[in-house]
Amino acid sequence: MKSWPEVYIPTIDSKYVFPELSLFNSESHRTEVLPFKKTYRIYVCGITPYDSTHLGHAATYISFDLINRYLRAMQSEVNFVQNITDIDDPLLERANRDGVDWQDLANSQIDRFRSDMTALHVIPPRNYIGAVEAIPLVIEKIQELEAAQSIYQVEKDLYFRVQKDPEFGKRSNLSETDSLKIFAERGGDPHRVGKEHPLDSLVWLAQLPNEPGWSSIFGDGRPGWHIECCAIALKYLEPEVSDEYLIDIQGGGSDLIFPHHEMSASQARVSTGKRFARLYVHTGMIGLEGQKMSKSLGNLQFVSTLVDSGVNPMSIRCALMMQSYSKDRMWSNELLENSDIFLDALTLHLSKTECAPTQQVIQDIINALSSNLDTEKVFMIINQWIKQSESGATGGNPGELSRALDTLLGIAI
Ligand code: ZN
């Protein structure tokens, strides 16, 4: 799948010290240090293209962009892979509802997603992979799971036996009651007759009349969602044999903790015998003016709508970084206005020849980011610098600070 254009990242002077990055791991419920490595492997779940990028998506991809930027700035390589679920129930349902071809709908929303990511200055993944193009990988992965006796058939569909993974459920830490409830709410089928365990998940759906299907040794059909991410991650992140974990970070919104990330990790564990991710990192949900923002409430706020109405994409980016990535938080017009005011003041002082000292500011920003991406502190540091510059302090290098803000935070002015 074609990604979006590469983003220029200015280099940062080697005098700055980069502490190891610590991140909140949803599995252990603790903030943990990501040990220094030459190459990091990061997998972030992409969208299902029946709608374009809403602010929750934007917040997620900007958060992982900050991780990507930090690790690159510390001179490591980052193999960053993202998928796009270009075949799944919600896409077919929406296409059916609107009377459009599902492929046309997917293509139009994928194009919009690319332009949204470009506008938000998000570094493109090294590999951006669609579910359809990954079907041969999914088939291979199902065969590996079959060899591990973890696949069975219900009618013509194939299921994964979750209990084949001794660690099933330990990544999401939910009670059985909550697991079953959330599984049913998020597309699972706990009550289907013929299943061995209510939480077993679909890996291959036999083709239904009027639905697309692809040929496979299991019959015509299409892949389940969880196996898609497992197969793509393990192929394109090229796990290192000597590493205890297959990948370093599995990321996405907190609504993916269960069942999606639990299932993908279990399938990876059962098919390889190794633990999937070193850290499971999740971003909080974005609400709108005091309310939950959701498809069912019909109040999703889209990046493209805001940009088309004249909002500066950099203002959206800054507004979404002003609070901690892991918290559920609210979007509001006031937040966007504050972000505009912040950017105006920042631009003004970065364009002057004299400004307050900048070297310690850059180091403080690096330190704050290293501590679970503490962007609240980062904005406090930058605002302090703006105030000092306003009050006439001198001795800084505005060009260096401007480049560092781009490198580390993706704030391009
Ligand atoms: Zn995924």
What local confidence, expressed as pLDDT, does residue 374 receive?
A: 98
CB 283 within 8 A of CB 325: yes
The amino acid occupying position 370 is S
Ligand 1 centroid to Cα of residue 350, in Å, is 39
- Cα separation of the two ends of the chain: 30
Fold of 22-287: Rossmann fold (3.40.50)
Ligand 1 centroid to Cα of residue 44, in Å, is 7
Q: Which residue has the tokens 């974990």?
A: 245
How far apart CA 125 and CA 232 sit, in angstroms, is 13
Ligand 1 centroid to Cα of residue 161, in Å, is 19
Ligand 1 centroid to Cα of residue 364, in Å, is 34
List phi, psi (to 5°) of 31.
-85, 125
Ligand 1 centroid to Cα of residue 254, in Å, is 12
CA angle 147, 229, 258 (to 5 degrees): 100
Ligand 1 centroid to Cα of residue 85, in Å, is 8
Ligand 1 centroid to Cα of residue 53, in Å, is 16
> Is the previous residue joined to 259 through a cis bond, with omega within 30 degrees of 0?
yes
Ligand 1 centroid to Cα of residue 171, in Å, is 15
Q: Return the structure tokens found at 308.
A: 């088309």
Ligand 1 centroid to Cα of residue 191, in Å, is 23
Question: Model confidence at 173, in pLDDT bands (50, 70, 90)?
Answer: very high
pLDDT tens figures, 310-335: 999 999 999 999 999 999 999 999 99
CB 401 within 8 A of CB 355: yes
Distance of CA 217 to the CA centre of its chain: 32
Mean pLDDT of the region 118-134: 98
What local confidence, expressed as pLDDT, does residue 289 receive?
A: 87
Question: Model confidence at 132, in pLDDT bands (50, 70, 90)?
Answer: very high
Domain boundaries, the chain: 22-287
The amino acid occupying position 329 is R
What local confidence, expressed as pLDDT, does residue 52 receive?
A: 84
Q: Return the structure tokens found at 65.
A: 């962009």
Ligand 1 centroid to Cα of residue 45, in Å, is 4
Ligand 1 centroid to Cα of residue 230, in Å, is 8
Ligand 1 centroid to Cα of residue 6, in Å, is 23
Q: 249 has which bridge partners?
A: 42, 279
Ligand 1 centroid to Cα of residue 257, in Å, is 10
Mean pLDDT of the region 30-36: 98
Ligand 1 centroid to Cα of residue 98, in Å, is 26
Residue 348's CB: how many other CB atoms inside 10 A? 13
Ligand 1 centroid to Cα of residue 83, in Å, is 7
Ligand 1 centroid to Cα of residue 226, in Å, is 6
How far apart CA 223 and CA 145 sit, in angstroms, is 14
CA angle 144, 146, 150 (to 5 degrees): 110
Ligand 1 centroid to Cα of residue 261, in Å, is 7
How far apart CA 53 and CA 58 sit, in angstroms, is 6
- Residue 243's contacts (CB-CB under 8 Å, 6 or more residues apart) are none
Q: Evaluate if residue 261 carries a pLDDT over 90.
A: yes
List phi, psi (to 5°) of 358.
-115, -25
pLDDT tens figures, 290-299: 899 988 888 9
How many residues in total does the chain contain?
A: 413
How far apart CA 105 and CA 214 sit, in angstroms, is 19
